[in-house]
């Protein structure tokens, strides 16, 4: 990789800056632009560790003297933005000092036999990102998002995923009928019905389906389920946060697979 001279941006009217601002703040802009906004040192390092090269590397002007040595050879074009303008790009409470713009990865083919997580119309970006982290941690390398789920490559989901995206097969915008291609059993969760998780003999590999924060798993996904489970809650709460429930279920599967 070769060092490239940076492009400096000091005007709020700059066309590239306007595109970057849309990409950073509009959760659906990544689909329109075919690019992904990845903000912060941690996420950028996670991408590089997986062999991802940015299309653009964007730096706050005050950070560029420190970043030039380490990051100027990242493989893409370098863009240096005046600090006040970089702050307008940031989606963080405390703005980061760097970001990558990546080409949106092409959706892979669905792998019928792979351990998978199905996201059925989950709305909260934090929940979606947290579940992606759990999927990666517990060996579920494929994530299938049903239409209506928060965009997997949106900035908020990327931040919550903490780099998990780059180790997963991510397919979004699916209809429930796509699950018929799976050759692994689908397991659904409920707060009030099904077998207790700790008493189940869990199949491996499998696909866990997690549903909308308020409505749960929809009828079309539930109809394709081979097993429904619930998590014991002796404390009496009505339900668990979906990302918390996913962590418990995916860990139980990973532990059972090793026994």
Instruction: Give the residue extent of every domain in the chain.
Output: 7-103, 116-257
- For 149, residues 6+ apart whose C-beta sits below 8 A from its C-beta are 119, 120, 121, 122, 123, 128, 172
Through-space distance between the first and last CA atoms of the chain, rounded to whole angstroms:
45
pTM of the model: 0.93
The CATH number of 7-103, from 3.40.50.920, 3.30.1330.30, 3.30.1360.70, 1.10.10.10, is: 3.30.1330.30
- Name the token pair of 173: 């915008």
Q: Which of the pair, 257 or 127, is modelled with greater confidence?
A: 127
pLDDT of 1 above 50: no
Pairing of strands 56-60, 98-103: antiparallel
Nearest to 175 by CA among 131, 145, 217, 140: 145
CATH code of domain 116-257: 3.40.1280.10
pLDDT of 15 above 60: yes
The DSSP output letter for 104 is: P
At 181-217, the pLDDT tens digits run 999 999 998 877 789 999 999 999 999 999 999 888 9
What pLDDT, on the 0 to 100 scale, is given for residue 233? 86
């Amino acid at each position: 990789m070769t060092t490239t001279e940076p492009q400096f941006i000091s005007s709020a009217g700059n066309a590239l800056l306007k595109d970057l601002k849309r990409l950073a703040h509009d959760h659906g802009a990544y689909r329109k632009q075919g690019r992904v906004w990845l903000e912060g040192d941690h996420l950028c390092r996670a991408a590089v560790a997986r062999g991802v090269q940015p299309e653009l590397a964007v730096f706050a002007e005050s950070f560029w003297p420190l970043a030039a040595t380490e990051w100027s050879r990242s493989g893409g074009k370098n863009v240096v933005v005046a600090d006040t303008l970089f702050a307008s790009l940031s989606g963080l409470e405390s703005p980061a000092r760097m970001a990558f713009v990546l080409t949106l990865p092409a959706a892979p083919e669905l792998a019928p036999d792979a351990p998978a997580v199905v996201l059925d119309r989950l709305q909260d970006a934090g929940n979606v990102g947290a579940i992606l982290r759990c999927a990666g941690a517990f060996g579920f390398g494929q994530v299938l998002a049903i239409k209506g789920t928060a965009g997997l490559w949106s900035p908020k989901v990327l931040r919550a995923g903490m780099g998990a995206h780059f180790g997963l097969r991510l397919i979004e915008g699916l209809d429930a009928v796509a699950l018929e291609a799976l050759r692994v059993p689908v397991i659904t969760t409920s707060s009030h019905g099904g077998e207790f998780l700790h008493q189940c003999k869990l199949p491996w590999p499998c696909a866990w389906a997690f549903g909308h924060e308020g409505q749960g798993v929809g009828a079309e996904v539930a109809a394709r389920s081979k097993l429904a489970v619930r998590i014991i809650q002796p404390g009496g709460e009505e339900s668990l946060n979906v990302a918390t429930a996913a962590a418990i279920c995916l860990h139980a599967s990973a532990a059972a697979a090793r026994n």
